[in-house]
Amino acid sequence: MNSTNLHSRIIGSGRCLPERIVSNGELAANLDTTDEWIRSRTGIGQRHIAAEGQTSSDLAFAASQQALAAAGVSAAELDLIIVATSTPDFIFPSTACLLQAKLGAKNGAAFDVQAVCSGFVYALTTADAYIRGGLARTALVVGAEVFSRILDWNDRSTAVLFGDGAGAVVLRADNAPGIEACALHADGSQAGILSVPGNVCGGKVIGSPFLQMDGQAVFKFAVRVLDEVAREVLAKANTDIEHLDWLIPHQANVRIIEATAKRLGLPSERAIVSVERHANTSAASIPLAFDEAVRDGRIRQGQRVLFEGVGGGFTWGAVLFRF
């Protein structure tokens, strides 16, 4: 391989959703909400919820095993593992290290990335930089979340929005892209509109351990930056929306996805939507939607795909690639 012309290419993907499915109707039995309200405001019909004791690293492990099998890569070949999560198993060690042990992947680095719902595009961009810089050859990038653990199940304005799951991709160095362009952004001054403002200190939770959100502010912010960052990566790759086969935005809300596609001038059928069945799985949402669309034959080799995420921080970013 020519080391002066390194790129990274996605060569396999996988996913894991917990077995238990909770419908809107089931939520409405205990919460002052309705299936109609949730569907019309968000497009969500159901979510998967992790079993007691099932952790982000458990979901990440199952998704990673599928991704490695699809790529035809053994765990020993991995020289980089990055897990994007805001719901790690522990404060430390990182979920990536726990995953590394479960996989028996002993030949490389492992660390977590914390950028909430943009976590997967942050992790993918980081892995791409490692590979292009010659620091890694074969990377596993995972988004894994158990958001059900940080929700106040008595708060109807947030509890209905999220679910649990994990998605993974294997990246490999190649002389042709692969990943064509990436962009990442952050604005910490917007921290207050979406947060879990708590910490563990002296054996106690200080602040709140539950997700808090200003839904309308998040909606407006998300639609604006998803439009901007999509245009930014297309311009970086010297291309345009006409030459894009698939858009996979973070799966938070079908209205945000539709508004983003409309602003970009992309026919809505070219945006992959899985939020109806998965709800918002934060860092896992993009790789979950991607793996589903690869396995059901919508996304094919050679097609051009744009991932874009936005989430707490605030953070946002995009990755444009040929599959």
Could you list the residues that contact ligand ACO (CB under 6 A)?
A: 33, 37-38, 41-42, 117, 156-157, 160-161, 194, 213, 215-216, 218-219, 222, 250, 252-253, 280, 310-311
CA 86 to chain centre: 11
Of 93 and 209, the one with the shorter C-beta distance to ligand ACO is: 209
- Measured CA to CA, the distance from residue 125 to residue 311 in angstroms comes to 16
Q: Which residue lies nearer to ligand ACO by CB, 6 or 150?
A: 150
How would you write 132-156 as a 3-class SS string?
HCCCCCEEEEEEEEEHHHHCCCCCH
The minimum distance between CB 25 and ligand ACO, in angstroms, equals 13
DSSP state of 301: T
Counting beta carbons within 10 angstroms of the beta carbon of residue 26, is it exposed (0 to 12), middle (13 to 18) or buried (19 or more)?
A: middle
Of the pair 6, 254, the CB lying nearest ligand ACO is at 254
185 assigned to active site: no
State the minimum distance, in angstroms, from the CB of residue 257 to ligand ACO: 10
Rank residues 142 and 254 by Cβ distance to ligand ACO and give the closer one. 254
Active site residue 117: yes
182 is catalytic: no
Measure the CA–CA gap between 81 and 179, rounded to whole angstroms.
18
User: What's the closest the beta carbon of residue 24 comes to ligand ACO, in angstroms?
Assistant: 9
Choosing from 117, 182, 253, 278, which is the catalytic residue? 117
Residues 48, 97, 253, 280: which is the catalytic one?
280
- Selection from 50, 42, 88, 63 nearest residue 279 by Cα: 42
- Residue 83 CB, nearest distance to ligand ACO (Å)? 18
Closest CA to 323 of 215, 140, 176: 176
Name the catalytic one among 7, 48, 250, 278: 250
Catalytic residues: 117, 250, 280
